[in-house]
Every structure is written in structure tokens, then in C-alpha cells.
Amino acid sequence: MDTIQKFLLMVIVGFLLPVFTWAQSLGKPNIVLIVGDDHDRTAAGCYGNPQIKTPNLDALAAEGVRFTRAYATTSSCSPSRSVLLSGRHNHNNGQYGLQQATHHFHSFEGMKTLTHFLSGGGYRTARAGKFHLEPTSTYPFDVRIDDNGNNPVRMAEKCADFLESTKNQPFFLYFCPTDPHRTGFRRDLPLQPNAHGNRTNGQEGVIETLYGADSLRVPYFLPNTPESRAELAQYYQSVSRLDQGVGKLMAQLKQKGLWEKTIVIYVSDNGMPVPGAKTTHYEPGVRLPLIVRNPFSNQKNKTCDELVSWVDMAPTIVDFAGVPTPSQPGRGTSLRNANEAPGPTAYLHGKSWKAVFDHPGSFRSDTLFLSHSFHGLTQYYPMRTIVTRHYKLIWNIAHPLEFPYASDLWDSATWQAFLKSGQTTFGVREVKDYKHRPAFELYDLTQDPQELVNLANDPKHKPVFDKLLTTLKESQRKTGDPWSGKWVHE
């Protein structure tokens, strides 16, 4: 082949490749992933809370599927979001802890993540609001909608141009408000509760929903005190504002004729920002909302009780999009040793739950692996956990250490009032048990949903313990966990 022929071939390939990618993308669903910030599963009407007002999340659940056993793999912001977008546990993707300021944890460069795969499949990608990850080359988006997420209604309005411009191309929108995360204190209110983003004069474009603190029922993991109820009232107001942002985004999709072409997924990054929830592997820290509306399925107003986690999110989204990813090694295949081959795996760690919509009743998942390493730089307390339908086994790798407190949890009016009270039980848990944990915690979630009776040393439960521990070690090996070396060296 002479030089001219080679040149012509390159021109033809260069012209046809985008056309081929465009043709492949026709008929693919749009996908919106909404991530609440510290949104507890029980703080939503569709999850059984009659006091909080979340009409838009409730409507989303009424038109889709509400998952009852959905878990974050780590109860910390940056690591959890890295799991959602990378499809790999934080111990493998490098986002061990928080991204910002002095914490400075960053994911590995060169790792292929969700948006790489979607872009290769003809999708246009955009993010709005809180990002909290580095480097951007590992999590690339075509469009960055300039908003920090503190007003979800205005943020939804700012998505209008992107939605309008992608009517003829499938898109992925990553929509991340900062509600109901903690912010500053409400010095203008009695007890000075945390504001959770609420402002004295409200947020522009938001019809604020106010809650009377005295009438609120407090979750079991919080003490029933005036300070707890005051902060819960602020938290609920913030959740209701988040809900309005979801509603505004839903309205935008409908106005632009995209609603029946778009799969909408709602999750939270971790649990409520209080001791006993956020940064722990207890249920309030990691068992979270997952609501999915799929207009291409007849699954409406349904619940799914199968076990899923945030490491399953990327595999599911690429499955919805019809985009291939590197497959996991099959059974019997020799998997790499994490100590011999550091860095992220090429394959994703989770599974797709698309079958929940395609073939109702066919999807089965009865075991999850959770992994937490850091929160902030000084909050080192790695945990590895197995969750099954009935049991949870937590391995507290650094159990000789006292469990660390995140700064915003420590400073909260709820915790400071508790410290001054001289009480020893916070919610249902003894503080001494919260601060000083054994190497292993085993709970029967069916008989002990509040996780108070540790069965790890109970002879009757030794077969259960041994089986779950074997599963935990194998999960570490399959996901390239550097902490698996602790079994050898300590």
C-alpha cells in the first residue's frame, strides 16, 4: 500500500469512526445519577417516615423500584463517590479517604472509570454540584455545570442547557447537591443546631419546609434530647430542599421531552452525620436509599429486597447503556495477589442489577463485601465487612485504636450536649463500646437489627463466623486489597 492509499484510508477511518459511534448510540437510554450528601435511608417518606416531606422522591419510588437492602461500601464522602464512579472498592482505586485540603487522598491516574466507558459508547457526560474526587482525568466529564450544589433547585435549572443540547445524543448526568450535609451553626436559634445548609432567609427559588423540633421522633441511634431534635429539624428541612431539587430536575426532563427516555437513579453517599452512623459500618452508616425509575420497564411501585452495594452502580449503568467493560476473571481463574500487583484492577468489582427490571424475580444477591479505610487523614480506622441476608461480620483491622470522630460530628450540638450530660449511652449504644471495638463483630441482623449483641465469640455461631471470615478474605483477594497483608504480617 503506497503513501497516498494509507493517507486515504486514515481519512476514511477518521470520518467513519464517529459516525459508527453515533449510530451505535441511537436508541440508548439517558441516565441520571443523583447523589444526596449524608442522606439517611429513614429520612424519606417512601422509606416509611411519616414526618418528613419528600414528595418528589416518593413519586420517583411510586414510578420505579425502591431497594430495601442497598449499601454504601464505605461511609465517607470521597471514598464512597469514588466507588460509585469507578466500580472498584476504595482500597483498590486509591481514594482511601477525603479528597480536599490537607487530607489529599486521590484516586489512581490512568484508571478507566464509568465515564470513560460511557464516552466510548457514544454518551455525552456532565456533572453538576459536589464532585469531591481527584484527579479529574480519572473521572472525566464532557461538561462541568458550574455550581457547588448548595441550592439544588437552582442547580437543576442550570442543567437546562445541557439537557437541551443532548436531545439527539444519549447522556449521563451526575447530579450532586450538598444537602443535607452539615455546614455552620444557626446562632440565631436556641441550642444553636447545625444549619445543614439552611439559611435564615431561605434559599433563592426554594419553598422551605420547616419542622417543629419538639414533635419529631428521633431515630434509635440518636439520644432523644432537645439538641438532637433541634438538629433533626434542620436536617429534615435540608432533605426537603434536596427533594425540591430532585423535583425541579424531573420537571426539566419532562419539559424537554426526555422523561420517558431517561433512567433516574437516586442514592446517598453515606448515612446521617452523627456518631453511630456516618464513618461506621453499622446499618445507619451504610444502609442507604436506592430508588430507580426505568421508563423502559413495567416495574412500577415495587420493592427489591436483594442485597446490592455502590460497587454495583458502575457495572449496572454500563449495562443499561449497553457498553462493554473488562470482565472479571471466572471461577477457577488465578487472581492476582494484591501484595504482588498494586494498583487498580482492570475489571470492575461489582455486579449489574439490571435484571431487576428486565427479568423481575430472576436477580439474586445474598452477600456483600464492604470496605472502609479512612475518613479524614487523622481518622484512620479500616474495616472490612461481609453482609448477608441474616448476618454481618465486621473486621476492625485497627481495633487496638480508639474509634476516631469526624470533626463535624464531634462539634455538633447533639454530641457536645451529650458529653456535658454525663450519660454513657448514646442512642442505644454504650459509648465505651463505640470507642473501643473488638477485632471482630458478628451480628444477627434478623434478631438484632440495632447490632448490639456481638456473637463473634459465641461457640454456637462459630460455623457462621468461620464461613463469613473465609468469604471476607476471598473478597479482599479478588478486589486487590492491600490490607490483606495484615493477615500475614500481624
- What letter would DSSP give residue 201? T
- What letter would DSSP give residue 335? P
Our CA angle for 277, 283, 284, nearest 5°, is: 35
Active-site residue, from 46, 77, 159, 176: 77
Cα–Cα distances (Å) from 35 to 17, 49, 189, 229, 310, in that order, read: 34, 20, 29, 25, 11
Contacts of 113-116 spanning 24+ positions with Cβ under 8 A: 113/85, 113/86, 113/87, 113/138, 113/139, 113/314, 114/84, 114/85, 114/86, 114/87, 114/139, 114/172, 114/314, 114/317, 114/318, 115/85, 115/139, 115/140, 115/141, 115/172, 116/140
Kindly state the cell numbers that stand for 461. Answer: 455461631
What is the SS3 assignment for 30-90? EEEEEEECCCCCCCCHHHCCCCCCCHHHHHHHHCCEEEEEEECCCCCHHHHHHHHHHCCCH
CB-based contact 442:393 (threshold 8 Å) = yes
Q: Which alpha helices (DSSP H) does 184-326 contain, by range?
A: 226-255, 283-286, 313-321
- What letter would DSSP give residue 146? -
Kindly state the cell numbers that stand for 212. Answer: 417543629
The Cα 443–Cα 435 span in angstroms is 18
Return the closest-CA partner of residue 30 out of 162, 227, 220.
Answer: 162
Kindly state the cell numbers that stand for 280. Answer: 461506621
Our CA angle for 177, 183, 186, nearest 5°, is: 125
The Cα 41–Cα 47 span in angstroms is 7
The residue behind cell 465515564 is 115
Q: Has 159 been annotated as catalytic? A: no
CB-based contact 171:126 (threshold 8 Å) = yes
The Cα 405–Cα 278 span in angstroms is 10
Active-site residues, by number, are 77
